[in-house]
């Protein structure tokens, strides 16, 4: 590593390991999702970190499904996770594994621990085990089964595997120290009985290893060097190391656990349990609802993968939990789309503008740049004629102070075409404006005034003759409360009732006719929009607003 300034604490640890030759200079990481839900932006942080750091050091990264909990896991989640990791831009090559690949090895290793007198079968119920564990202030109590002979333990463990006991009747526990100040070291459970079919091993097993046992052993089997996990596992690290004490690595290289702070973002929730509750209670349309912080949701919202990678890189890694401003995620999105999204015009809340002095059957065309930031993206043709649509709020019959758009007597520029002067409007019986009238100035083609008179307002428009109808979905924060996940708040009561607004009858340029997801556009003056990857089809255009134009993100002063 040559760039000292950008080094994070994990890289510093890797540098030290390389210097000491702990792993023969290997860097081998893994991303270990549990296939019990869809990936979210927090997982993206972990993916970018694990794959990113290995890549930086010329190392490799495994994808490993941590599938030790048969009742909650299934292949639908496995497939969605694979797709999301690939979409984010990472590749595990041929290194996709499952903890369940190692069930035989885990079982053998557990027997080794029994033989070494380091594990025993316990008859206590889970409630009793909890009771015996003690508290931070009081030591735990040893189970009456703790001193069973090795032979008896081996036999009982085999009987557990053979299905001779019901769920919860017995467990295999590590024999460590019931008085340890670290509660995780008070004879933690290594194996439990679960009579449930596993999505991969079927009914072969009715005992399943606990995460704290399966994880270090899986890391060791795969010869992972740096096992990066989130901060809540810090107190489990002594157990991680204890589990591997008797593991034989061919080169004596045991993986090392390193913890970093998990990513939290304001105005949303990140726990899979809570995300599932949002889906199951119908608060969102699914795991990929564009308001969800899932990768599927962000993709549907119009986040290009690079914008998420950029976000994850820029928030950095830390040892202290903190919440990142949602505005910063949007800032990274905006940066990407500003550079890459095609510009176009759309009118979301249309009202007719009639240019009374423009010939009825005439149509003019204008050639406009697709993206001022990318001249290579070329130009497109837009049509202009007597009847146009403008945004309803770009007209006011009686303007308020500082209003520079259309009002009777005032001139505005219709983007790239002509200057028009408003002459009045027509209202319905209820007093609602239904049409606005104006006269165009033929001398101002291209939007310039030959006499140099100043035009303060420029508004966008759509040609009524050629515009296409579209549905547009506008989004706001899913939660009103900035921290719906902290404390014991009832997060479902903190939802923003106005997080989705659906507009129909919007007018967009004809050129968007054949556009397909995942294309993004900047609708001038309105924001960045993308085609909805589920509901938009040829003949039915549906757009999601990815983000508004204006950046509200202000870096916090330190």
Catalytic residues: 34, 262, 272
Q: Which does 410 bind (CB under 5 to 8 A by kind): Mg ion, ligand ATP, none?
A: none
**One residue of 124, 220, 229, 419 binding ligand ATP per CB under 6 A:** 229
Should residue 32 be labelled a site residue for ligand ATP when binding is judged by CB under 6 A?
Answer: yes
**What is the smallest separation between the CB atom of 263 and ligand ATP, expressed in angstroms?**
4
Q: Which does 262 bind (CB under 5 to 8 A by kind): ligand ATP, Mg ion, none?
A: ligand ATP
The closest alpha carbon to 44, from 325, 381, 296, belongs to: 296
**What is the smallest separation between the CB atom of 319 and ligand ATP, expressed in angstroms?**
13
Neighbours of 128 (CB within 10 A): 13
Q: Which does 290 bind (CB under 5 to 8 A by kind): Mg ion, ligand ATP, none?
A: none
E-assigned strands of 283-410? 322-324, 342-344, 346-347, 350-355, 363-369, 379-385, 387-391
Count of residues that bind ligand ATP according to CB under 6 A:
15
Should residue 309 be labelled a site residue for ligand ATP when binding is judged by CB under 6 A?
Answer: no
The CA-CA-CA angle for residues 553, 556, 558, to 5°, reads 160
**What is the smallest separation between the CB atom of 37 and ligand ATP, expressed in angstroms?**
6
Tell me how far apart the alpha carbons of residues 270 and 265 are, in angstroms, rounded to a whole number: 8
Task: Tell me the chain's radius of gyration from C-alpha atoms.
Answer: 31
**One residue of 15, 34, 152, 397 binding ligand ATP per CB under 6 A:** 34
Residues 525-554 that bind Mg ion (CB under 5 A): none
Give 50 or 410: the residue with its C-beta nearer to ligand ATP.
50
**Would you say 478 and 543 are in contact if contact means Cβ atoms under 8 Å apart?**
no
E-assigned strands of 392-467? 411-414, 419-427, 433-441, 457-459, 462-463
What does the per-residue mask of binding to ligand ATP show for 366-385, with x meaning CB under 6 A? Answer: --------------------
Residues 229-248 that bind Mg ion (CB under 5 A): none
The answer for residues whose C-beta is within 8 angstroms of residue 104's C-beta and 6 or more apart is none
Q: 39 exposed, middle or buried (CB, 10 Å; 0-12, 13-18, 19+)? A: buried
**What is the smallest separation between the CB atom of 49 and ligand ATP, expressed in angstroms?**
8
**One residue of 230, 310, 385, 477 binding ligand ATP per CB under 6 A:** 230
**Would you say 33 and 39 are in contact if contact means Cβ atoms under 8 Å apart?**
yes
Should residue 301 be labelled a site residue for ligand ATP when binding is judged by CB under 6 A?
Answer: no
For Mg ion, the nearest residue by Cβ is 34
Give 43 or 111: the residue with its C-beta nearer to ligand ATP.
43
Tell me how far apart the alpha carbons of residues 397 and 422 are, in angstroms, rounded to a whole number: 10
Residues 39-68 that bind ligand ATP (CB under 6 A): 42-43, 45-46, 66
Q: What is the DSSP letter of 479?
A: B
Determine the straight-line distance between the first and last CA of the chain, rounded to whole angstroms: 29
Q: 339 exposed, middle or buried (CB, 10 Å; 0-12, 13-18, 19+)? A: exposed
**What is the smallest separation between the CB atom of 281 and ligand ATP, expressed in angstroms?**
17
**What is the smallest separation between the CB atom of 33 and ligand ATP, expressed in angstroms?**
4
**What is the smallest separation between the CB atom of 257 and Mg ion, expressed in angstroms?**
14
DSSP-H helix ranges across 281-325: 295-301, 305-315
Hey, what are 483's tokens? 């921290």
Residues 25-54 that bind Mg ion (CB under 5 A): 34
**What is the smallest separation between the CB atom of 79 and ligand ATP, expressed in angstroms?**
15
What does the per-residue mask of binding to ligand ATP show for 66-105, with x meaning CB under 6 A? Answer: x---------------------------------------
DSSP-H helix ranges across 73-203: 75-88, 103-115, 126-133, 150-161
Q: Which does 182 bind (CB under 5 to 8 A by kind): ligand ATP, Mg ion, none?
A: none
Give 33 or 188: the residue with its C-beta nearer to ligand ATP.
33
What does the per-residue mask of binding to ligand ATP show for 241-270, with x meaning CB under 6 A? Answer: ---------------------xx------x
The answer for residues whose C-beta is within 8 angstroms of residue 538's C-beta and 6 or more apart is 513, 514
Hey, what are 417's tokens? 């075409």
Hey, what are 107's tokens? 């079982």
Residues that bind Mg ion (CB under 5 A): 34
Residues that bind ligand ATP (CB under 6 A): 32-34, 42-43, 45-46, 66, 229-230, 262-263, 270-272
């Amino acid at each position: 590593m040559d760039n000292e300034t950008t080094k994070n604490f994990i890289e510093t640890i890797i540098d030290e390991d390389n210097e000491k030759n702990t792993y023969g200079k290997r860097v081998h990481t893994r991303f270990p999702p549990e296939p019990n839900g869809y990936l979210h932006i927090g997982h993206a942080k972990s993916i970018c970190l694990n794959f990113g750091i290995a890549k930086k050091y010329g190392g490799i990264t495994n994808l490993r499904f941590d599938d030790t909990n048969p009742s909650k896991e299934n292949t639908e989640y496995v497939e969605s996770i694979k797709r999301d990791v690939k979409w984010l831009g990472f590749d595990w090559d041929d290194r996709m594994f499952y903890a369940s690949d190692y069930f035989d090895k885990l079982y053998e290793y557990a027997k080794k621990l029994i033989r070494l007198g380091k594990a025993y079968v316990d008859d206590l119920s889970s409630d009793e085990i909890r009771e015996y564990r003690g508290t931070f202030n009081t030591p735990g109590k040893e189970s009456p089964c703790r001193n069973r002979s090795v032979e008896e333990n081996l036999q009982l463990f085999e009987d557990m595997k053979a299905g001779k006991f019901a769920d919860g009747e017995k467990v295999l526990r590590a024999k460590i120290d019931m008085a340890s100040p670290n509660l995780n070291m008070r004879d933690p459970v290594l194996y439990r009985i679960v009579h449930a079919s596993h999505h991969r091993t079927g009914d072969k097993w009715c005992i399943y290893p606990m995460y704290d046992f399966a994880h270090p052993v899986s890391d060791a089997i795969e010869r992972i060097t740096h096992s990066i996990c989130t901060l809540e596992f810090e107190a489990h690290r002594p157990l991680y190391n204890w589990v591997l004490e008797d593991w034989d690595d061919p080169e004596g290289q045991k993986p090392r656990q390193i913890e970093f702070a998990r990513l939290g973002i304001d105005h949303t929730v990140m726990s899979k349990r809570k995300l599932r509750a949002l889906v199951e209670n119908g608060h969102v349309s699914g795991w990929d609802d564009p308001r969800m912080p899932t990768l599927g949701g962000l993709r549907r919202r119009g986040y290009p993968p690079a914008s998420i990678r950029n976000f994850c890189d820029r928030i950095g890694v830390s040892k202290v939990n903190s919440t990142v401003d949602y505005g910063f995620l949007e800032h990274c999105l905006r940066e990407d789309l500003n550079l890459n999204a095609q510009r176009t015009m759309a009118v979301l809340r249309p009202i007719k503008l009639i240019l009374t002095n423009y010939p009825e059957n005439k149509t003019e065309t204008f050639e406009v740049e697709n993206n001022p930031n990318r001249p290579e993206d070329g130009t497109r043709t837009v049509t202009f004629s007597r009847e146009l649509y403008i945004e309803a709020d770009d007209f006011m019959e009686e303007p308020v102070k500082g209003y520079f758009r259309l009002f009777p007597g005032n001139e505005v520029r219709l983007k790239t075409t002509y200057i028009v002067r408003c002459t009045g409007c027509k209202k319905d019986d209820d007093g609602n404006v239904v049409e606005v009238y104006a006269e165009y100035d033929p001398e101002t083609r291209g939007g310039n005034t030959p006499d140099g008179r100043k035009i303060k307002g420029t508004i966008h428009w759509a040609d009524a003759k050629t515009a296409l109808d579209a549905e547009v979905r506008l989004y706001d924060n899913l939660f009103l409360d900035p921290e719906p996940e902290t404390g014991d708040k009832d997060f479902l009561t903190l939802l923003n009732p106005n997080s989705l607004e659906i507009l129909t009858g919007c007018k967009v340029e004809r050129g968007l006719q054949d556009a397909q997801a995942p294309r993004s556009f900047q609708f001038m003056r309105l924001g960045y929009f993308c085609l909805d990857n589920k509901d938009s089809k040829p003949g039915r255009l549906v757009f999601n607003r990815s983000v508004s134009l204006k950046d509200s993100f202000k870096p916090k002063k330190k």
